[in-house]
Amino acid sequence: MCAGWLVLSLIYSKAHAGHDRTRLFALAAVAAVFLGAALILLRKPWTAQSFLSAGLAALIVFYVGLVLAMWTQHLAGPPPDKTSVTQMVVSMLSLQGATLILVVFFLKDQGMTWRDAFGLSNNTKRAILFGLLAAAIFLPVASNLKLLSERGIEHFTHEHPVQQEAVQAIQTTSLWSYRVLLGIFTLVLAPLGEEVLFRGVLYSTIKQAGFPRIAFALSSIAFAAIHMNAGTFVPLLLLAMLLAWLYNKTDNLLAPITTHAAFNTAGFIYILIHGNG
């Protein structure tokens, strides 16, 4: 994500005059070095004796890189009012794409396969069927919840709710090549990356540590919050709870991936048909 911030900051800077681009690029490069160093430190094997010192060193290096990345963002100026296709692609590659790449290395270090880690061979047909049924049942519920949330925001703030970045990107582009690209990212990359991260890693790790209720709540709240949209927070929170329940029920990550993909597909088709409506 931080790498995505840096790339987007450099893209934003082109639209703003009056700042030193050389200094901006230098600051972004230093931030990238610190963030990369933190990732290298995290991948090194830790012993019980070195856990505290190694963890502290990784944390310090990461936060230095994070502060520098935020400083880069500040110098680059505010982002555009409307989310562009470029912004959306960079954002998704830096979160969902990076998640899938990092999980590949993690599974390799652990000597595990995707099937073993996420139960992909556990009654596959049943998992996919459960996922499709869950999506069909939840879609009208989510639509009504989103409408109620947006009306509540309008009532209390007297402002029209802002759409999600992905929705803005699809609405603002008329090129079908861009829409196809956004469709691939929205319907394939997003469900895979987010389910691996929030259900496959976050939920499973906390649950296996002996805290199933905290795992259920924390992974659901994190999923809804990371989309950074007030109007969709409640429906996404309930969707996340449903996805965690599906994963727990089927012990196969294909179930929540199927529901998530079907959910995104319905939304994507709706936006293409209705446009800015």
How many domains does the chain divide into? 2
The answer on 132 and 11 residing in a single domain is: no
* Listed residues 24, 44, 79: the one ending a domain: 79
Q: What is the pLDDT of residues 205-252, one digit of tens each?
A: 889 888 999 999 999 999 998 887 888 899 999 999 999 999 999 999
**15-18: long-range pairs with CB below 8 Å, 24+:** 15/77, 15/80, 16/76, 16/77
The answer on 168 and 92 residing in a single domain is: yes
The answer on 117 and 249 residing in a single domain is: yes
The reported pLDDT for the residue numbered 15 is: 46
The answer on 225 and 131 residing in a single domain is: yes
Q: How far apart are CA 77 and CA 88, in angstroms?
A: 18
The answer on 214 and 245 residing in a single domain is: yes
The answer on 75 and 101 residing in a single domain is: no
From first to last of its 277 residues, the chain has per-residue pLDDT tens of: 556 555 656 666 654 444 566 777 777 788 778 777 877 776 666 555 665 666 677 778 777 777 777 677 666 666 665 666 777 777 788 778 888 988 898 888 778 899 999 999 999 999 999 999 999 999 999 999 988 888 888 878 777 777 777 777 777 777 888 888 888 999 999 999 999 999 998 899 889 888 999 999 999 999 998 887 888 899 999 999 999 999 999 999 999 999 999 999 998 998 888 765 4
Q: How far apart are CA 265 and CA 259, in angstroms?
A: 10
The answer on 63 and 87 residing in a single domain is: no
The answer on 131 and 148 residing in a single domain is: yes
* 95-248-224-115 Cα dihedral, nearest 10 degrees: 10
The answer on 96 and 18 residing in a single domain is: no
The answer on 134 and 68 residing in a single domain is: no
DSSP conformation class of 161: P
The answer on 124 and 19 residing in a single domain is: no
The answer on 157 and 100 residing in a single domain is: yes
**Domain membership of residue 52 as a residue range:** 1-79
* Listed residues 79, 114, 130: the one ending a domain: 79
